[in-house]
Structure 1
Amino acid sequence: MPDRDVTLSTIQRELTAFARRARHKAAQIHPELSLVTYSMLDHLEATGGCRGTDLADHFLLDKSTVSRQTAVLERLGLIVREVDPEDRRGQILRPSQDGLRLLAEAHRQRRAIFEDRFTDWDDADLERFARYLQRYNAAG
């Protein structure tokens, strides 16, 4: 059985490779999108929209970073701002129709990549892998 340090090094190396691929894929989806801006757009879709402060809290970023990233999304026409109905001074950020189209295409591409990558995995292996990823991400 491998030593724990070797195993942890392998996990770190493989997760780093995964992150590099994710950054590369974000740039392929749209040349002006970073992984952070893409992730924010994806989060806005998943939540139905939220305030910039909610994005900062979710991604553990400062408000100025979120402001710069959302400015990019807005300049590209991928998000819209709406008055927050609960606090008329605030704004809710939501994906625009172009943003939703971009996300739908990205999800389609990502699904095709996953289906190809996992072709040789049986259902039990996939279920185990999914549970491990959930467990890892739930740990914070």
Structure 2
Amino acid sequence: MNVRNTRTQAVDTIQRELTAFARRARGRAVELHPELSLVAYSILDLILERDGCLATDLAEQFLLDKSTVSRQVGALEKLGYLERAVDPGNRRNHVLHATVAGRTVAQEAERRRREAFQERFADWSDEDVAAMARYLSRYNHGD
């Protein structure tokens, strides 16, 4: 087999495995926290990471359309996990912030996700886990 075919097969395998990973993550999200879909958890997590952000920031970060973000934000507000505040820099915008309940649920979801990943990597060496982290970071950041 030539190098070109080997690389093509490797890229095909990566694509299949990343797709399987995404499907598994979506499926496990409900199991790990019934009120938070993977998208909702990701949105809440980014809002916490940035200590507040605009809905347009969420759409840009996750490559989602505004209607999807609006539905997810509305659901998180309805659950009492998010609140809106008028943006002092532009009063037409609203900055989204996590509530105390939102912080609590995000911390619990993160704890459960971390446990699930620790379990999944239990038989991997520290070097393999570190390599996986480097490769995923490199892939996601385009380095």
TM-score, normalised by the number of residues in structure 2: 0.87
Equivalent residue, structure 1, for 2:81: 78
Give distance in 1, aligned partners of 2:91 and 2:53: 14
Any runs of at least 4 consecutive aligned residues in structure 1 with deviations exceeding 4 A, and if so which? none
**Equivalent residue in structure 2 for 1:60, among 59, 63, 82:** 63
**Displacement of 1:80:** 0.8
Give distance in 2, aligned partners of 1:120 and 1:64: 42
Give distance in 1, aligned partners of 2:80 and 2:127: 42
Give distance in 2, aligned partners of 1:17 and 1:137: 17
Give distance in 2, aligned partners of 1:30 and 1:114: 15
SS of corresponding position for 2:96: strand
Structure 2 counterpart of 1:65, one-letter code: T
**Equivalent residue in structure 1 for 2:42, among 18, 39, 43:** 39
Residue deviations 1:77-124 (CA, integer Å, cap 9, x gap): 111111212222221101111111111111111111222222222222
Equivalent residue, structure 2, for 1:88: 91
Q: Tell me: CA distance 1:107–1:131, structure 2 relative to 1, closer, same or farther (3 Å).
A: same
* Contact 1:52-1:92 at 8 Å conserved across structures: yes
* Contact 1:49-1:92 at 8 Å conserved across structures: yes
Give distance in 2, aligned partners of 1:92 and 1:15: 33
Unaligned runs of 5+ in 1: none
* Contact 2:32-2:112 at 8 Å conserved across structures: no
Structure 2 counterpart of 1:107, one-letter code: E
SS of corresponding position for 2:135: helix
Give distance in 2, aligned partners of 1:11 and 1:59: 21
**Equivalent residue in structure 1 for 2:12, among 6, 9, 20:** 9
**Equivalent residue in structure 1 for 2:106, among 103, 107, 110:** 103
Give distance in 1, aligned partners of 2:29 and 2:141: 24
Q: How many residues get paired? A: 140
Unaligned runs of 5+ in 2: none
Equivalent residue, structure 2, for 1:49: 52
**Displacement of 1:32:** 4.5
Identity level (%): 54
Equivalent residue, structure 2, for 1:23: 26
Structure 2 counterpart of 1:20, one-letter code: R
